[in-house]
Amino acid sequence: MPIRYFNSYSRQLEDFVPLEEGRVRLYTCGPTVYNFAHIGNFRAYIFEDLLQRHLEFRSFKVHRVMNLTDVDDKTIRGCRAAGIPLAVFTKPFKEAFFEDLKTLRIKPADQYPEATAADHIARMISMISTLEEKGHAYRADDGSVYFRIRSFPAYGRLAHIVLDELQAGVRVRSDEYEKENVGDFALWKAWDEADGDVGWESPWGRGRPGWHIECSAMATGILGPQLDIHCGGEDNIFPHHEAEIAQSECVTGLRFSKYWMHCKHLQVEGTKMAKSAGNFFTLRDLMDKGWSGREVRLALLSVKYREPLNFTMDGLAAARSALARLDEWSARLTETAGSAPPEPVSFPEMDAFGSALDDDLNISAALAAVFELIRETNRLLDGGNLAPGQAKSLADWLTGVHSVLALEPEAASLPAEVQALLGLRAQARASKDWKASDSIRDQIATLGWMVKDTKDGQKAIRL
C-alpha cells in the first residue's frame, strides 16, 4: 500500500511521491524566539517529528529544515523592553527551544536557519528585488515594500479564500492606507523608531524583512526552488503559507511545495488554551509538575494530527500508565529472549503498525496495533508459549517501532548502593527474615527505586 498524506492544498488524500526518488525535502515552520514555546507549538513539532521518522522508517532520506524567526514585532518589542540587543534577547529562547526539543525527543532538523543571518537577509533582499522587477512588489509611501497580491492569480488557493471577499478584519490596521490592496503584505518593513537599533541596509533604505519572505528565502535557499513537503500549524495556512507560495512562485516560476501538511490546534481541558484562562503551559511548566518529556511526548503524539487534541492532566496520567505497560512488555521480551538468535514470528499487528502510519499518519491505529500485540504476546508469555528466539524478534521489531515513536525508557543504570541493598535483601529473604526484607525495601524506596518480588527474584524499577 502506498503512503498517503492529506494535502492541504488539494484537500485530499494523495499518494506520496517525492520530486526525487527516495529523497524528501521537508521544510517546517519553526518558532519565533521571543518566549518559551508552549505545548501547542510542540504538538506541531512532534507531528513533524513523526512525519520525518515515518518517512525514514519507510527508507526515505529526509532533508529537513526548520527556521528560527529571530526578528519580528514581538522580538523587537521584547529586546527594547529589556533594553538589550536583539540577539542577546533571543539567545536564551533559542537555547531553551533546543533543550525542549531534546526533552521531547524530537529529532534534530538538518539545519536551523536564522532569519537574521547575513546570507539569509541577503537572499531575502535579492528575492524582493526580483519581485519588484517582475511587478509583483511595490514601494509604498512609508518606504516599505509590499507584495501585490493582485499580481498572483493563484493567491488564496491554499486557504480557499476568494480575494473579493477579503474584508478588513479587526486586526487590519486601518491606517495602512498606503497599500494598494488591504491584502497586500509587507516584504520589507521600513525602519521606524520603535525598531530601535534593529535594522539592515537595503535598496529601499534601512528596515527589516517581513515575516513571510524569511521562510521563502530560507526554504528555497537551502532546499532549492521546490520542496516536497511544507508543514506547520493550521493557523499558518493563512496568511503565512499563502504568502510564501505567492512570493516563492513569483520568483522561481515553479510550484513551491508539492505537499502541504498542517496540524490542528490543541485544546487544554476542553477549552482553548489561553494565558487568561490559566490553562497555558510551556513544556517547563509540565516538567515542574513532575511530568517527563517522554510522557508529554506521548500525550501530544497519541491523537491524529488532523484532529483537534484535547490535552489534559488525565491524558498525561494515561500516557504515564500506558508507557509503564509498554516498558514492562519490552523488559519481559528482553528477559525471555536472553541471548537467543531471532526466530521468525508473524503477527498481523506487526505490519499493521506501519500500514496505519502509511495511511496519513494514523497514530491512534498504529498505537492500537502495538497494544494489541502486547496483550496477545503477554498471553503467550504467561503460558510459556513464546520461544526465546521469537521474543528476540519481537524485541527487534519494537526497536523499529521506537525509531518512529521514540518512546523507549530512559536508560537507568542501577546504582551500586541499591545493588548492594538488593543483595542484603536477598539474603534476608532466603532466611525468611521478612522484617529485615521489608525494612530494606523501604530503604531502597527512599533512594528512588521500587522493588518487585517476582518468581524470578527481585527486580528494581526506577520510581
Partner RNA sequence: GGCGGGGUAGCCAAGUGGUAAGGCAGAGCUCUGCAAAAGCUCUAUGCGUCGGUUCGAUUCCGACCCUCGCCUCCA
Q: Write out the binding residues for RNA, residues 275-304 only, by CB under 7 A.
A: 302-304
Please work out the total of residues on this chain that contact RNA, with binding judged by CB under 7 A: 93
Q: How far is the CB of 21 from RNA (least distance, A)?
A: 28
354: which 3 cell numbers?
A: 506501519
* Torsion 232-235-236-237 (CA) sign: positive
Site membership for RNA, residue 306 (CB under 7 A): yes
CA-angle at 325, arms to 294 and 440, nearest 5°: 90
Contact with RNA (CB under 7 A) among 141, 382, 410, 442: 382
Q: Which is nearer to RNA, 18 or 233 (CB)?
A: 233
Q: Give the per-residue contact string, 239-278, with RNA (x = CB under 7 A; - = no).
A: xx----------------------xxxxx--xxxx-----
With contacts defined by CB under 7 A, name the span among 58-66, 234-242, 251-259, 286-294 that binds RNA.
234-242
Tell me if residue 23 falls in helix, strand or coil. Answer: strand
**Interacting positions 396-455 with RNA (CB under 7 A):** 429, 434, 437-438, 441, 450-455
DSSP 50-82: HHHHHHHHTT-EEEEEE-BB--SHHHHHHHHHH
Binding mask 333-372 for RNA (x = CB under 7 A): --------------------------x--x-xx-xx--xx
Residues in region 99-138 near RNA by CB under 7 A: none
Q: Closest by alpha carbon to 261, among 60, 55, 104, 20?
A: 55
Measured from the CB atom, the residue of 72 and 249 that comes closer to RNA is 72
C-alpha cell of residue 52: 520525518
Torsion region of 206: left, alpha or beta (phi above 0 gives left; psi -120 to 50 gives alpha)? beta
Q: 276 exposed, middle or buried (CB, 10 Å; 0-12, 13-18, 19+)? A: exposed
Q: Please identify, using beta-carbon distances, which residue of 67 and 226 lies nearer to RNA.
A: 67
The footprint of RNA on residues 158-187 (CB under 7 A) is 159-162, 165-172, 182-183, 185-186
Of 2 and 22, CB closest to RNA: 2
Measured between alpha carbons, how far is 417 from 392 in angstroms, rounded to an integer?
31
Only one residue has cell 548492594, namely: 420
Q: Write down the least CB distance from residue 287 to RNA, Å.
A: 19
**Cell 529571530 maps to which residue?**
70
